[in-house]
A and B are shown apart, each in its own frame.
Chain A
Amino acid sequence: MSTISTVFKKEVVDNFRDRRTLLSALLMGPLFGPILFAFVINLSVKQTLGGADDAVDLAVIGAEHAPNLIAFLESENLHVVAGPESREAAIAGVAGGEHDVVIVIPENFGEHLSSLVPATVEVITDQANTQAERETRRVTRALYGYNQEIAALRLSLRGVNPLIMRPLNIDEVDVSTPSGRSAILLGMLSYFFIFALLTGGMNLAIDATAGERERGSLEPLLCLPVKRDALIIGKILAACFFMAVSLSLSLTAFHFSLKFMPFEELGMTPNFGPDVVLLAFLLLVPFALVGASLMTLVASFTRSFKEAQTWVSVVLLAPTMPILIVSILMVRPSTWLMLVPSLSQHLLLVGLIKNEALNGLHVAVSVGGTLLTGVLLMWICARLYRREGLLGL
Chain B
Amino acid sequence: MIVVEQLKKSFGLVEAVRDVSFSAPDGRITGLLGPNGAGKSTTLRILYTVLRPDAGSASIDGINVVDDTLSARARIGTLPHGAGLYPHLTARENIRYYAELYRMPADVIEHRVQQVIDQLGIGDFADRRSKGFSQGQRTKVALARSLVHEPQNILLDEPSNGLDVMATRALRDVIRELKAAGKCVLFSSHVMQEVAALCDDIVIVAAGKVALQGSPGGIRERMQTDDLEEAFVRAIRLVETPA
**Which A residues have a C-beta under 8 Å from some C-beta of B?**
1, 3, 6-7, 10, 13-15, 17-18, 212, 215-217, 219-227, 388, 391, 393
Contacts and interface: CB of A to CB of B under 8 A. Distances in A.
A225 B84 contact: no
Nearest to A390: B50
A204 to B, nearest CB: 12
Contacts of B82: 216
A3 B74 CA distance: 14
Given A6-B97, A10-B97, A388-B51, A219 B102 contact: no
Interface string B20-63: 00000000000000000000000001001111100000000000
B89 A14 contact: yes
Interface residues of B, number: 36
Given A14-B88, A388-B51, A216 B83 contact: yes
Contacts of B73: 223-225
A17 B98 CA distance: 19
Given A1-B106, A215-B84, A388-B52, A220 B97 contact: no
Contacts of A10: 86, 89, 93, 97, 100
A222 to B, nearest CB: 5
Contacts of A224: 73, 98, 101-102
26 contacts: A3-B103, A6-B100, A10-B97, A10-B100, A13-B88, A13-B89, A14-B86, A17-B129, A217-B85, A219-B45, A220-B80, A220-B84, A220-B146, A221-B101, A223-B49, A223-B80, A224-B102, A225-B70, A225-B71, A225-B73, A225-B102, A226-B70, A226-B101, A227-B70, A388-B50, A391-B50
Nearest to B155: A223
B18 interface: no
Contacts of B142: 220
Contacts of B49: 222-223
B213 interface: no
B79 interface: yes
B78 A223 contact: yes
B87 interface: yes
B79 A215 contact: no
A227 B70 CA distance: 8
A325 B87 CA distance: 43
Contacts of B129: 17
